Amino acid sequence: MAARRSWIPFAIVAVIAIAGVMLVGDIRKVVDRVADFQWWAFAATVGLALANYAIRFFRWQYYLRHQGVRVPVTSSALVFGAGLSLSITPGKLGELVKSYLLHEMHGVPIEQTAPIVVAERVTDLIALLCVGIIGVAIYGVATTLVISASVVMAVGLLLLAWPKPTLWLIDLATRPAFLARFRDSLKRMYIGLAALCRPKPLLVATALATPAWLCECAGFALIINAFPHPPISMGLAAVIYAGTTIAGALSFLPGGLGVTEAGMTYLLVQGTAQLDSETALAATLLTRLATLWFAVLLGIAMLTATRRRIKRLSRQTKESAPIVAPS
């Protein structure tokens, strides 16, 4: 029951966000636009979202090997998929559940894998920024957003590469007595994250993340162009998708709800694409359904399977434990 109740705030935020975005257009006209939509594009976008997850799974495997973690591929895939169930948490930090699940399933120390989850978010943002920077150079869309995000990422990478001020900040943040017990764990996590953000692993992980996110950019373009209007280019769709996804991530709202939807709709209407507001809104909502909400539903199914596997492994461990005769 507690797990179910934890979703209530996110559901409320989702409803409010969608209702707010819908204010930009007549709901009946939005429904009319969806009636003219070519649904094969939605199916293709779901397939491209799956390709995104598959490529990011290879990155997850790379990070596990880098950290010296050896677990069965089946367990690793279930845990990675289960993390998608918490894609809607602020900054996707709920995906730290992957570290807990690996610990429960195979006894892997949480501090060994928690930096991986943060490193995933770092390389996701870098990959999206690369797409955004190219798009800004070509189309001049979302320039302020991309520049601001680039500055934030540059500061973050500087702190990762320069441990002295970062360790000082951790000491400062954990000075209150009730936070002091987290100081050593945070420092160990920082050291692990800094190791994952050295040039080689950073480049390898970003090289995997970039095509992964381009898959979802392509899906966004397919959905937009599946409506009856003059087509827009893949490049323009990519920069809009990348820029608004970055904005949602940096807003630290659950799943970027409201920020991403509003940004997509606004740029499709006011930007180079110049769609009417109802078509833009319909395209935005279908895209989020095929990417964010599909990921959450898939993650819930994988989380259920992971919990069953943990129970089965725990039962097998107990059954195989030697029976000690009383002396």
- What is the rounded average pLDDT of the residues 2-31? 54
Please tell me the predicted confidence (pLDDT) of residue 307. Answer: 92
10 Å Cβ neighbour count for 144?
9
Residue 154 makes CB contacts below 8 A (sequence gap 6+) with none
Please tell me the predicted confidence (pLDDT) of residue 4. Answer: 42
Please tell me the predicted confidence (pLDDT) of residue 283. Answer: 93
Whether pLDDT at 142 is above 70: no
Whether pLDDT at 324 is above 60: no
Q: Environment class of residue 260 by beta-carbon count within 10 Å: exposed (0-12), middle (13-18) or buried (19+)?
A: buried
Please tell me the predicted confidence (pLDDT) of residue 26. Answer: 59
Q: Which residue pairs, CB below 8 angstroms and at least 24 apart, start in 1-10? A: 9/254, 10/88, 10/89, 10/254, 10/255
SS3 90: strand
Whether pLDDT at 82 is above 70: yes
Region of residue 60 (left: phi > 0; alpha: psi -120 to 50; beta: else):
alpha
Among residues of the chain, what percentage have pLDDT more than 70?
86
- What is the rounded average pLDDT of the residues 303-309? 93
Confidence (pTM): 0.84
Among residues of the chain, what percentage have pLDDT more than 90?
40
8 A C-beta contact, residue 293 and residue 162: no
Alpha carbon distance 278, 25 (integer Å): 5
**Least confident residue range of 178-187, 211-220, 234-243, 312-321:** 312-321
Residue 18 banded pLDDT, cuts 50, 70, 90: low
Please tell me the predicted confidence (pLDDT) of residue 1. Answer: 41
Give CA separation, 31 vs 102, 279, 283, in Å.
44, 9, 11
Please tell me the predicted confidence (pLDDT) of residue 164. Answer: 79
Alpha carbon distance 12, 126 (integer Å): 30
Mean pLDDT for all residues in the chain: 83
Specify which residues 254 forms β-bridges with. Answer: 90
Alpha carbon distance 142, 136 (integer Å): 7
Instruction: Give 159-193 pLDDT, tens digit per residue.
Output: 777 777 878 888 888 888 888 888 888 888 788 88
Residue 5 banded pLDDT, cuts 50, 70, 90: very low
Please tell me the predicted confidence (pLDDT) of residue 286. Answer: 94
Please tell me the predicted confidence (pLDDT) of residue 2. Answer: 43
Instruction: Give 104-122 pLDDT, tens digit per residue.
Output: 999 999 889 999 999 999 9
Alpha carbon distance 182, 186 (integer Å): 6
Give CA separation, 102 vs 2, 192, 310, in Å.
22, 17, 9
**Least confident residue range of 52-61, 194-203, 272-281:** 272-281
Residue 7 banded pLDDT, cuts 50, 70, 90: very low
Alpha carbon distance 78, 208 (integer Å): 20
Q: Environment class of residue 180 by beta-carbon count within 10 Å: exposed (0-12), middle (13-18) or buried (19+)?
A: exposed
The residue among 193 and 290 whose pLDDT is bigger is 290
Please tell me the predicted confidence (pLDDT) of residue 89. Answer: 80
Specify which residues 90 forms β-bridges with. Answer: 254
- What is the rounded average pLDDT of the residues 242-265? 84
Whether pLDDT at 249 is above 70: yes
Alpha carbon distance 76, 254 (integer Å): 25
Instruction: Give 29-78 pLDDT, tens digit per residue.
Output: 777 788 889 999 999 999 999 999 999 999 999 999 999 999 999 999 99
Residue 151 makes CB contacts below 8 A (sequence gap 6+) with none
